[in-house]
Amino acid sequence: MKNMFDLTGKKAIVTGAAQGLAHGMAEGLMEAGAEVAIIDLSAKIGEVAGAFCARGFRCHGVQADLGDVEQRERAFNEAVSAMGGLDILVNAAGVQKRHKSEEFPLSDWEFVLNVNLTSVFHLCQLAARHYLAHGGGKIINIASMLSYFGGFTVPAYAASKGGVAQITKAFANEWASKGINVNALAPGYMATTMNTALMNDPGRNTEILSRIPAGDWGTPDDMKGPTVFLASDASSYLHGAIIPVDGGYLSR
């Protein structure tokens, strides 16, 4: 049973891994034995990769703006070339913009949808083309609680994460029979920079915590196990699933 979760020799791409949940997911994959290429807009991505390497992991840092189609494709190809292949793709990069819906700028709508949904669609395509030529692989998309709910002052984010859940299912329908597992994780309320405003709002913080049976905000470490599960042989018959990692929030 232990060997089902062993990722030794596997090669993974994790986007958005300079910090936050994606950083934790990349770390979890490396702890399970995988070699990982981390792609991020941050100029510190090389430092982050170097820090992982200093701990004995095999990690490659690739800087790119995933909202730019040419940079996105270049980064994907660079990552695959650096590792000599690809077995796992984790689409974890994401952005957020908040405005009242009636005032939401079209430019912010397009920015959020481009990074959170269009880039995920494109990277899934690129990975699938590689997998179809090399016997299969894993795709792990990152959905959200807003794949289920509408949220408040975040219509673009809600639309993008609803879209991520649906393309995960759509891709699974086409690729499951071809050796490609496409699934998604839906993080709950996580203690990351994206949620700093909520955590610092006493009213909203209390409201959110009161609905989480586990009693606390999640952390990047809480994403490690589910990510390794979806990346491993343990999930070989799982296709098109959206798995909440939310401390029980949806059950309340």
What percent of the chain clears pLDDT 90, i.e. is strictly above it? 94
Tokens representing residue 85 in the block: 């292949």
Amino acid at 59: C
The domain segmentation of the chain, as residue ranges, is 2-238
DSSP string for 169-237: HHHHHHHGGGTEEEEEEEE-SB-SGGGHHHHT-HHHHHHHHHH-TT-S-B-GGGGHHHHHHHHSGGGTT
Residues annotated as part of the active site: 157
CATH architecture of 2-238: 3-Layer(aba) Sandwich (3.40)
What is the number of other CB atoms lying within 10 angstroms of the CB of residue 238? Answer: 16
d(Cα 96, Cα 142) in Å, to the nearest integer? 14
What is the number of other CB atoms lying within 10 angstroms of the CB of residue 134? Answer: 12
Structure confidence at residue 16 (pLDDT): 98
Note the pLDDT tens digit of each residue in 117-164. 999 999 999 999 999 999 999 999 999 999 999 999 999 999 999 999
Note the pLDDT tens digit of each residue in 167-193. 999 999 999 999 999 999 999 999 988
Note the pLDDT tens digit of each residue in 213-247. 999 999 999 999 999 999 999 999 999 999 999 99
Q: 3-class DSSP state for residue 72? A: helix
Structure confidence at residue 1 (pLDDT): 62
* H-type alpha helices, 19-68: 20-31, 45-54
